Structures are given as structure tokens and as C-alpha cells.
Amino acid sequence: MNWFPIIPGWDGIHPAMVMFPIVLLLATPLLLLTSLFAREAWRGWAGAALVTMVLGTLAAWLAVGSGHAAGQLVDKTRELEAAILRHESLGVNVRTDFTGLTTLNVALLLLPRWIKRPIPAALRNGVLAVFLAGYVTATGIIAHAADAGGRLVHQQGVRALVDAPVASITKAPAAATPTPVPRAPVPR
């Protein structure tokens, strides 16, 4: 009996990989909000938010990469291909938007060091509040990407079989099988 779970390959790890950016990027606003109200300890909370953002953004890059690899193995109908492209597009938007937001947050936190003087608390909190509002708005993209991925799994039947070869990622049989879209062979 094997006590350890089978770890899937790069193209099969996407279902687990997507959880990291979702959790980390959705937890970050709570840390940012806390830094707004922590007068003396705001740097620590803002630093924790930055670390969480960086890890979440890196995880988004990995999730997009593993999702693209997994999507190459799916036997696609026209409808399924459109749904996969929508999910992939939303994932790329998450990756791009949060890369920009993370870069902006780094710049905001390093600004006092660059100008060699502290930023007044009222100005800092105002800028952070505007950043937080933009960040929370961007989290809607995460929700849309997650919803599109959930629809692929629960409505379209796309799944990854962890205990089988990764090439077994496929669409569940449907009542009427539409004509598949031709695809280029995957090099092995």
C-alpha cells in the first residue's frame, strides 16, 4: 500500500495549483486593510501583504502555465474550446493584473526610501485606501476565472485523472458527440 499520494506532472497539477493564487490573492486585502488601521505596526502588516501578494502572483504565473499545459491535452469540441479559451484568457488577465498590482505595491512601499523621507500618515493611508479599492476590484477577475474553471469541470466534464497517465485528461462522454476540432500532436 502506497502511503503517499501520486504527484501529477506539470500538465496534471493545475487543479491543485489554482488554489494558491486564489487563497493568497484574496487574503491580501485583509492584510492591507489591517495595515490601514495599525498606526504603529502598519509596516509589518503592509510587508505581510506584500509577501502574500508576491507569492500569490508567482502562483498565478504557475497556475496559468500548468493550465495551458493541461489544456493542450483536452480533446476539444468547438464549444469546449471556446470555454477553455475563456478560462485561459481570464487566468492570463489575473496573472497580468496582479503582476502590475504587485509591482505598484512594491513601488509604494519603497517610495519613502527613494525620496529619503517619510510619507505623512494621512497621505500614505489615502494612497493605500485607493490602492486597496483597486485591488478589491481586481479580485473580481479571480472570481470569474475560478467560475469559468469550475464550469469546465462541473458542466463540461473536463477532469484530470491523477492515478492515470496525464494524457487521460479528457471530456466526459456526452449524449451527442459533436465533431472534435483538429489539433496539433503534442510532442512527447
What pLDDT, in 10s, does the model give residues 135-154? 999 999 999 999 998 888 88
Pick the more confident residue, 78 or 98.
Answer: 98
Task: Write down the pLDDT at residue 117.
Answer: 81
Share of the chain above pLDDT 90, in %: 41
Q: Is the pLDDT of residue 178 over 80?
A: no
Mean pLDDT of the chain: 83
Q: Is the pLDDT of residue 63 over 90?
A: yes
Q: Is the pLDDT of residue 41 over 80?
A: yes
- Neighbour-count burial of 140, counting CB atoms closer than 10 A to its CB (0-12 exposed, 13-18 middle, 19+ buried): exposed
Task: Write down the pLDDT at residue 164.
Answer: 42
Task: Write down the pLDDT at residue 171.
Answer: 47
Mean pLDDT value of segment 26-43: 89
Pick the more confident residue, 121 or 131.
Answer: 131
Give this prediction's pTM: 0.77
